[in-house]
Amino acid sequence: MLKIFNTLTRQKEEFKPLTPNEVKMYVCGPTVYNYIHIGNARSIVAFDTVRRYLEFLGYKVKFVSNFTDVDDKMIKEANREGITVPEVADRFIKAFYEDIAAINVQKATINPRATDNIQEIIDFVKALIDKGYAYESDGDVFYRARKFQHYGELSDQNIDQLVEGASEHIGETEFDKKQDPIDFVLWKKAKPNEIKWDSPWGEGRPGWHIECSVMSTKYLGDTFDIHGGGQDLEFPHHENEIAQSEAKTGQKFVNYWMHNGFVTVENNEKMSKSLGNFVTVHDLVQKTNPQVLRFFLSSTHYRRPLEYSEKNLQKAADNLEKIKTAYNNLKFRLDGATDETDDIQAKVEQIVADFKAAMNDDFNVQNGLTEIFNLVSLANNYSAQDEVAKTSVELILKTLTELTSILGIKLDEQKDLSKEIQEMVDQRDQARADKDFATSDKLRDRLKEMGVILEDTPQGTRWHIND
């Protein structure tokens, strides 16, 4: 039985999807004015792992994640470069797809863009005005936060204690337009030389919070199963999404709210673009194996903070290498495996059951990894035996591949070069048998240049690619 920690209720709850065997899931995506940093990637990887586990359990997942492709940062970047806002968005959306592909994140079912949903946003705002939840003020439209009786529940805040302007960084002009300091903007009046659209309130553009309400309900319905994002989005963004959406539809917006912890750096400081202490995925994958980065990001429970450091990256690299070495060593034993049977199946099934029990407890990947390493130990011990059964070897390899794939890890990446490498290994083995050590050493050096590590064992020469 899968249980999820629901931020709204602050407790673990049994997961019951609205539609049997289907999950509708929305995760707030990036504002595409720059490359994604490790903090962004942590959220992306966390919810990709959640999605993969749900699919492992047999659910069909409709996964929607938006692009915010118009806001103040987008406009500032476009003006700085002397190009249009859509041109900035197009460039960094392309970079986003390249970066997530590098760390093996599955594409969303749908990645809607705010600018493709302007009419829907306008219609949504009009509905809120008609219901008395919003008002126009000199070309801007604001939401009456106090009118929504559940405002503040997600972030566990009393509306009377919320600081002035907490929902937006507001200047004096905007403050004067508001009926209440806690009101937040739904539609912004256009300023000179800004991207803009016609609306019933004059030329302008959408506020940030309204975009996600519109795009999530458009593609997933008025009520859906899971909404995810970083802890920094609890307030005001997700709080405002609930207020907007439930005021318009009269329905519960989301059944399970999930929030991932921050990535921190030295002195436990949050990583963010605004603090200038960020490292982009675009840069990091140039010098770090993307699989190591993926393993680092996915091997800590999603609600816990994750400390980024070279030391922790190296630890992830070492642990990943242990898994891959066990996999490759056992795979090597397929050649010469017998048709006998043994007791391996029961041991593997128990590990899988324990893995599922760990992951069913709010996607506890750290405990899940314990079971993966139990499987690694089983693989190591089994591959060291004099005789191994083919069915057992295949079962361990298949299970190890399945469980690690939930974390986004690819174990068998050697297919493209395997034939060429194996031919060179066979040539070296023959040279050694012929006592032609000069040729043997030459072939070993060539293989080393290709990143191939050789291990001479009683069963023959094993090889793997050094990451």
Binding residues: 28, 212, 237, 241, 273
Separation CA 307–CA 304 (nearest Å): 10
Of 430, 417, 400, 409, nearest in space to 463 by CA: 417
Separation CA 301–CA 280 (nearest Å): 22
The answer to whether the beta carbons of residues 270 and 335 sit under 8 Å apart is no
Question: 248-263 burial string, b = 16+ CB within 10 Å, else e?
Answer: bbeeebbbbbbbbbbb
Separation CA 261–CA 398 (nearest Å): 32
Burial of 11 (0-12, 13-18, 19+ CB in 10 A): exposed
Tokens of residue 359, six digits: 């992951």
Q: How many helices (H) and strands (E) does the chain have?
A: 15, 14
Q: Which 3 state secondary structure label does DSSP give 189?
A: strand
Tokens of residue 461, six digits: 């020469």
The answer to whether the beta carbons of residues 100 and 63 sit under 8 Å apart is no
Of 301, 294, 305, 330, nearest in space to 404 by CA: 294
Peptide bond into 236 cis (omega under 30): yes
Binding residues for Zn(2+): 28, 212, 237, 241
Separation CA 277–CA 292 (nearest Å): 21
Separation CA 197–CA 70 (nearest Å): 11
The answer to whether the beta carbons of residues 185 and 177 sit under 8 Å apart is no
Separation CA 347–CA 357 (nearest Å): 16
Tokens of residue 188, six digits: 């912004």
Binding residues for ATP: 273
Tokens of residue 341, six digits: 């049977």
